[in-house]
Amino acid sequence: MFSTLDLLVLTTIAYTDQFNFPLSSREVFRRLVSLTALRFLGVKRTTKRQLKIAPALITKTLTKLVKHGKLQLSGSWYGLSSKSTAIFQTRRQRHRHASTRLKEIEQLGQSLAQIPWVEAAAITGSAAMANAAETADLDILVITTSQRLWLTRILVLFLTIWFQKRGSAGWCFNLWLEPTELALPSQKQGIYEAYELWQCQWFFDRANWQKAWLEQNAWSRQFLPFMTSQSLHSVLRPTANHVKTTSQLDQLNGFCYWLQAKYRSWRYQEVWPLKHQVFFHDPQARSQIYRRWQRRLGELGISRPVVGPRLMIKSQVGKKSQTAWQLPPKIAALVKASHLAGQKIVLVTGVFDVLHGAHRNFLELAKAQGKVLLVGLESDVRVSQIKGQDRPINNQEIRLARLENWELADGVFILPEQFSLPLEHERVIAMIRPAILAVSSHTEHLEQKTRILQKYRGQVKVVFNQDPTTSTTQLLKTQK
């Protein structure tokens, strides 16, 4: 029987195990996940109270888990006993290679300092963990002056070409932020992002943006209470940058945005990114990491195959997950015909699990806003993420059929399982281009949705005042 501290330690080591990265006792303590993280992962703990944890207690727990055959020890590093001892040699090799790659930082930092709109930069990913393979890129986060992100990115791309750092083992600037958008969106506030956030090694910072970055993302503490921020010893701290803004440069930045977004849309079939916060990551990486993590926890016998909040634990999509989501043919044809006829499309998205009168009122009010009403239903996987492992009550096929029987909507379809991701969310909007996204008063993330709709000449409109006592969740509670 595992104690709660045993579970915390094993869960922490199981995360880095998928990267062949065993941990020292000190590293386990710093990276230790919280009780909230266990709930996020669906790990059943033995206590709900907060624990008093100290480094000495972690060392004692590690020793016990080695004795019971759950962990193996090599030198000062602990890894899962189910893995080959080669993981320890792998870490040594990657640590040496990462040290070599980090020697490029001085050259990179001095170059970025010549661009007046670069406010700060940090190393992220495997190099930040000192776990970089020979072919790994040097992943880099950049904070720019407001209204200069896309202009700066053009200059940085030329910089990487000049230093021949494009392609494999090059410089990969995959996270771009402006000062007003330092906080990660709620869809990205998970354990994976918390680790990435705290692993950042800042090597260039004009005005202590590292502190602002951490303050704006304080939510990460709920998952990683003992993590501390890092800076490279060679961190550059130039004087604060006072760059005058001009309308001409604003327009040039807007043109650079259009140019780059257009290219990525053609080259990678991507939807247009947000203007002030951009993530050039593989959208599947997050769910793949969580699935591997869950698999290791299952092998240790400390988790069950459930879906936790905002996290896909068990894949239910099979081979279909490998292909990009598309509108069903009938819906796509309806969208095309509606646009050709100049008919206003109204889009509604939601769970619609156990239908009730408030659902009907909401849809009737939405229908009145235009000519064609489309309803996007959250998939079963997404409903479990949002509502909990005991939901939905009715599967997506049943929910779809019941909505169609109401004959209020002109078309009903199932949304992609990654609909919480901004990229996937925007893809759906780009395919439909609704004139109105009709929402109720309790809808979250209205600002982000408004930005996306405005990009496609649509608007978000609150058409229904939600009574919290009539929600499906509340109705189910009263029936218990």
pLDDT of the residue at 468: 60
**3-state SS assignment for residue 364:** helix
CA-CA distance, 356 to 212, in Å (whole number)?
Answer: 45
CA-CA distance, 369 to 437, in Å (whole number)?
Answer: 10
Beta strands in 379-468 (DSSP E): 411-414, 436-440, 459-464
pLDDT of the residue at 409: 94
CA-CA distance, 224 to 220, in Å (whole number)?
Answer: 6
pLDDT of the residue at 388: 77
Beta-bridge partner residues of 175: 141, 279
Beta-strand pair 201-205/118-123:
antiparallel
pLDDT of the residue at 476: 45
pLDDT of the residue at 314: 35
CA-CA distance, 189 to 214, in Å (whole number)?
Answer: 13
**3-state SS assignment for residue 100:** helix
What is the SS3 assignment for 49-76? CCCCCCHHHHHHHHHHHHHCCCEEEECC
CB 64, CB 1: distance < 8 Å: no
Rounded to an integer, what is the distance from CA 9 to the centroid of its chain? 24
Domain ranges of the chain: 4-83, 96-281, 323-479
CA-CA distance, 89 to 430, in Å (whole number)?
Answer: 48
Q: What is the mean pLDDT of each run of 10 residues along the chain (480 residues)?
A: 89 93 94 87 69 90 94 94 88 87 86 93 90 86 95 94 86 92 79 90 90 88 82 55 73 93 78 82 74 85 52 36 71 92 94 88 94 94 79 84 88 88 85 94 86 91 76 49
**Please, what is the Cα angle at 61 between 59 and 62, to 5 degrees?**
65
CA-CA distance, 269 to 226, in Å (whole number)?
Answer: 40
Q: Which fold has domain 323-479?
A: Rossmann fold (3.40.50)
The model carries a pTM of: 0.62
Radius of gyration of the chain (CA): 24
CA-CA distance, 309 to 389, in Å (whole number)?
Answer: 8
Instruction: Pick the closest to residue 415 from 323, 325, 333 (CA basis).
Output: 325
pLDDT of the residue at 106: 86
Beta-bridge partner residues of 236: 204
Amino acid, single-letter form, for residue 71: L
CB 408, CB 373: distance < 8 Å: yes
Sheet strands side by side (includes 138-144)? 230-236, 201-205, 118-123, 138-144, 171-177, 277-279
Taking the alpha carbons at both ends of the chain, their separation in whole angstroms is: 32
Q: Which two tokens stand for residue 331?
A: 């819906």
Which residues are within 8 A (CB) of 189 and not within 5 positions of it... i.e. 6 or more apart?
A: 217, 219, 220, 310
Q: Which CATH class is domain 4-83?
A: mainly alpha
Sheet strands side by side (includes 71-74)? 23-24, 77-80, 71-74
pLDDT of the residue at 310: 38
C-alpha distances (whole Å) from 464 to each of 346, 358, 373 are 14, 9, 15
Beta-strand pair 23-24/77-80:
antiparallel
Task: Report phi then psi at 322, rounded to 5.
Answer: -80, -15
Task: Check whether the bond before 392 is cis (ω within 30° of 0).
Answer: yes
DSSP label at 308? B
CB 91, CB 57: distance < 8 Å: no
Amino acid, single-letter form, for residue 16: T
pLDDT of the residue at 307: 38
